[in-house]
Structure 1
Amino acid sequence: MQKQKGGAEKVKSWLAKRVGNSIKEGIISGLVNNKPTAPIVFNGSCDTVLLQVWVEFLIKELKSGQGVIMDNASFHKSNRSQELIESVKCSIIFLLPYSPDLNPIEKFWANMKRWTIY
């Protein structure tokens, strides 16, 4: 990183190569204390099965009494995902419909995407 005036480091952008429209990559992650938790990268679109696989990773990181905030995507509402989260004595908080501004992880990903160049 390069130094700027005042001793602050200049932030460099991430580089990602786009390979046509045939490959869609995504990432699922929790956010605890502004740090990604249980991240997984996948190809394609997210669905109920993929989310359940991720929740199995997530519950290993959760502590009893924590809340898991989710939007109202249909695949977030599967009984199995809810059972897994509740099995570790955590609760699920569903956001109001169409309110990504209330979800802390949306701000995290917005900043991440801002530094990504395709």
Structure 2
Amino acid sequence: MLLYLDESAASEKVLFRRRSWSQIGHPAYTTSELVTKTRCSVLPALDINGYLPGSTLVVEGAVTQMIFEHWLETAVLPRCEPFPGRRSIIIMDNCSTHHSESIKAMCQQAGVYLLYLPPYSPHLNPIEQSFHLLKQWLRRWRDLAPRQSDFDNLGVEYKSAWIAHLEEASYAVLKDKDVRGMFRHAKLPC
């Protein structure tokens, strides 16, 4: 019944771990190649079963209101049912890109209720925990990430490989996780 929407940013910078193991008395060193930051935004929709299949969008740069509205209209609302059906209540934070008359009109036309979380309340949104798991997965499996040195054309090819890697990671991260636990942690009945 509940569907949570939010966006998160990720770049190559998220791949670096801040801590590492080493012998006592010796600092931990690591080597990495110099990277040009490709900042991407991930837009998933989370319900009690995990991310909605086929609804996750990864875009280069920040999410604008136009991108959010298009994603909501084409990828999210077609997978929702009118109230009181499955995924009939959409819950979002108070980000400025989430507020527009067209968003309210699209949801009303689809028969979906639209609710906003109180300001400064990420602890009430279970999708925030999934973002933590996504970034943790990217750090753990950083060897699978595309490397700039593997591409002749650092522009388009590398950026599209990084976006594809983020899309793959977003589906892999919740594969065997207890999504209901995320809802319980946010004090939501499940």
Contiguous gaps of at least 5 residues in structure 2: 1-9, 13-34, 143-190
SS in 2 for 1:41: strand
Letter in 2 for 1:84: M
RMSD: 1.8
1:50-94 Cα deviation digits (max 9, x unpaired)? 100111121011111111110000110111112111211011110
Report which of the two has the higher share of helix.
2
Residues 1:31 and 2:46 aligned together: yes
Residues 1:99 and 2:117 aligned together: no
Distance 2:112 2:40 in 1: 29
Seq. identity, %:
26
> Over alpha carbons, which structure has the higher Rg?
2
TM-score, normalization by structure 1: 0.79
Number of residues paired by the alignment? 102
Distance 1:85 1:17 in 2: 31
Letter in 1 for 2:43: I
In the TM superposition, 1:12-51 aligns within 5 A as 18=12, 19-21=35-37, 23-37=38-52, 38-51=55-68
TM-score, normalization by structure 2: 0.50
Distance 1:86 1:46 in 2: 23
User: 4+ runs of 1 displaced by more than 2 Å?
Assistant: 16-19
Q: Retained in 2: the 8 A contact 1:51–1:81?
A: no
- With 40-49 and 80-89 compared, the bigger mean Cα shift is at 80-89
Letter in 2 for 1:58: V
Q: Retained in 1: the 8 A contact 2:42–2:59?
A: yes
